[in-house]
Structure 1
Amino acid sequence: MQQIGSVNGTPVHEHILDSGAARVSILSYGATIRDWRIDSVAEAMVLGFPDFETYLTQSRAHGVIAGRVANRTGFGRFTLDGTAHQLDVAKPPHHLHGGGEGLGKVVWEMEPDGDRAVRLTHTSPHGHMGYPGEVAFSALFELDGPRLTLTMEGQPDRRTPINLAQHNYYTLGATTGVRDHVFHAAADRFTPTDDTLLPTGEIAAVAGTRYDFRTPRSSREADPDEQGIDINMVLADGRPAEVECCTLLNPANDVRMRMWTDQPGLQVFNTWHFRFDVDHHDGLRTEGYQGFAVEPQHFPDSLNNPDWPSIIYSPDRPYKQVLGVEIARG
């Protein structure tokens, strides 16, 4: 573990996990996956910045753990047990990724356990970003061969919403963008959105839409008009967590990402409109389609859609999510 910078006087550390088959850099800032490399491929597997200071000015949740509640909550408003709450709205009109000082923008405590595991912890105080209750969060990263397992937990002191999301943008070694990466997901439904990307409350079939990845296909095939893909996909009810939920393939180098989750949804985002005036790892600076985000989580705006799976947790019902990601050739 080494210090690589600071935020408001608080040191920021980096710890590198190395299994031989993979090498993953973790930052204490935002519990961020900064870099991911595999043997036999020189280029990075995820979007990240070589200079830490760039994360403070240019990051769009690059590699962070987003929360307390990831994704969008309509106008930052919800009611819990008869009490109305107003969350921080840093990017109007909705609350996004826990607000302007969400979990992805704070410095966590870091405790390495050799070169295969690291635990990060952070206690979010009552009222922070408008959320009720104090929550003790932890994130355990464990690297075994090419597979990274991330266990995210939250212990609240009262009833409160929690919905975390690991926010990698996967490149899989691409240097010219990800529009031709081939995606496959075990999802036959999605949650349609309005023009502000807030769910309408409907759950619709993916058949006949650009969100149908039940048969593997690329963004170029699914979305030839470049309308963009930024949507929550609904995973099959009762799907075992040990069965992979999706795959992403870079056909140029045969690198494949496989993912496992215990969450009911996947936010899928192909960064079609991204523009940056700084380089990512390996000098990458494409015009759009820089990375492909796949973020297991509960559905966006679940707080205002009571028929959807609940994201309310309590002292006797703590939060836990287990995510598995494997990146390898073939």
Structure 2
Amino acid sequence: MKTFISFAAAFTFVASILSFSPSHCSGEVSDFDSIKLYTLKNDSGMTAKVTNYGAIITSLMVPDRNGEHADVVLGYDRLEDYINAVDKPYFGAIVGRYGNRIAKGEFSIDGETYSLAVNNGENHLHGGVIGFDKVVWDVDLFDDHQIVLSYHAKDMEEGYPGNLAVSVTYTLTDDNRIVIDYHATTDKRTPVNLTQHSYFNLKGEGNGTILDHRLTINADRFTPVDAGLIPTGELRSVASTPFDFTTAKPIGRDIHIENEQLTFGGGFDHNWVLNRSESDGELVLAAHVSEPETGRTLTVLTTEPGIQFYCGNFLDGRLRGKSGQAYLHRGGFCLETQHFPDSPNHPEFPSTLLAPGETYQTQTVFAFSTDNVSR
């Protein structure tokens, strides 16, 4: 059975039905009638809501250790809030064509320099002014457990070379996993680095900060950055630094330690280099998060070489979410599986270059469970 409804009919705000009007939104989107909200559900009672605007996960209803469900991703009840959001937080979206930063919005391929939009200080971030998070995707397949979304980015869109055909598949399994499969092909050599940008709070969105969540990252190294959050090129050991999450610790335990990297990021906003004993292309453990009050846990598996851990440093209480509660400073965290930031300008990093005849193919899994140990 297919379940889909328009944002205009389905999204509510303060318990009233919203009559959506395109006049409330910016001029970035013109095809409003094609924007829909789709519901995935499994036999365990978990639901995921996805819109084809930005391929955004708008809701994840996940049980706690007592079987009580809560929405664990930050976001909005209204389409126009996603479109007009202050500071563009990228709640729940697929970002690309290149997730994360590219220094000064420039890179070269075969001696030709390409200039991108500079939308984050002097750098390019998350695909530009109108990246994949701000376009309407086609829905190629939908049923209760799966949705396949696709988008065709034109040659030189946001400055990137090549016509790029992208598809993203979200699958909700009966064991409470969200499996995300990415595919892309191109007709010109171009960098590609797609990621999913959900902000999580395992207590429930709008329910305080995430500083008490216990985090493990399967990485012995990270990529230090300069003041503009561009990697220096070094792969630095996490040992004896606040960046050591090789064993579980509360996110907030070391966040106020005097450290230049924490100053640059305003907290944690860095790429970790995942430990890989398996071959490239195999799923490996990237991170594990547990929340002591509810018992909810999140395990992240990926085929990617890196993961960006961001702990909501730029949230400041101005944005209000689906619960009506303000999203406080560090009220959500992101675990963005990826290739490393600014890889097109760092030949020593794993390459993000996709050539004609090749297929970009990666997978990430968000696996939810409970620890069943009362606190």
Contact residue 311 and residue 333 of structure 2 kept, 8 A: yes
Which secondary structure does the structure 2 equivalent of 1:141 belong to? Answer: strand
- Which structure features the higher share of strand residues? 1
Partner AA of 2:340 in structure 1: F
3-state SS in 1 of match to 2:299: strand
Mapped partners of 2:48, 2:70: distance in 1: 13
Letter in 1 for 2:31: G
Does 1:19 find its partner at 2:42? yes
Deviation of 1:31 after TM superposition, in Å, equals 0.6
Runs of 4+ in 1 over 3 A off after TM superposition: 224-227, 237-243
Counterpart for residue 55 of structure 2: 31
Deviation at 1:286, TM superposition (A): 4.1
Letter in 1 for 2:349: W
Greater displacement, 178-187 / 268-277? 268-277
Partner Cα separation in structure 2 for residue 206 and residue 239 of structure 1? 21
Q: Report the Cα offset of residue 90 of structure 1.
A: 2.3
SS in 1 for 2:84: helix
* 8 Å contact from structure 2 (residues 318, 327) kept in 1: no
Unaligned runs of at least 5 residues, structure 1? none
- Contact 1:41–1:173 at 8 Å: present in 2 too? no
TM-score normalised according to structure 1 size: 0.96
Secondary structure at the residue paired with 1:244?
Answer: strand
- Please say which structure displays the higher CA radius of gyration: 2
Q: Residue deviations 1:204-262, cap 9 Å, x none?
A: 00112211100101122121348510000000133463442210111111100011100
**Deviation of 1:56 (Å):** 1.1
User: How many angstroms apart in 1 are the aligned matches of 2:336 and 2:84?
Assistant: 22
Measure, in 2, the Cα distance between the counterparts of 1:86 and 1:235.
30
Q: Give the conservation status (yes or no) of the 8 Å contact 1:15–1:25.
A: yes
- Please tell me whether the aligned partners of residues 190 and 233 of structure 1 are also in contact (alpha carbons under 8 angstroms): yes
Distance 1:313 1:281 in 2: 38
- Mapped to 2, the partners of 1:130 and 1:290 lie a distance apart of 34
- Tell me if 1:9 matches 2:31: yes
> What's the CA shift for 1:110?
1.4
- Whether 1:139 and 2:173 are equivalent positions in the alignment is no
Whether 1:220 aligns to 2:264 is: no
| TM-score normalised to structure 2 length | 0.85
Letter in 1 for 2:43: G
Structure 2: runs of 5 or more not aligned = 9-21, 23-28
Once the two structures are superposed, residues 48-101 of structure 1 have per-residue CA deviations (whole angstroms, 9 ceiling, x without a partner) of 111221101224111111100110000000000111100111233100000011
In 2, distance between residues paired with 1:278 and 1:245? 29
Q: Is the 8 A contact 1:136 1:156 kept in 2?
A: yes
Q: 2:318: which partner in 1?
A: 277
Q: Identity of aligned pairs, percent?
A: 30
Q: Hey, what's the Cα distance between the residues in 1 that align with 2:75 and 2:340?
A: 26
- Partner of 2:104, secondary structure, is helix
Q: What is the distance in 2 between the residues matched to 1:17 and 1:210?
A: 38
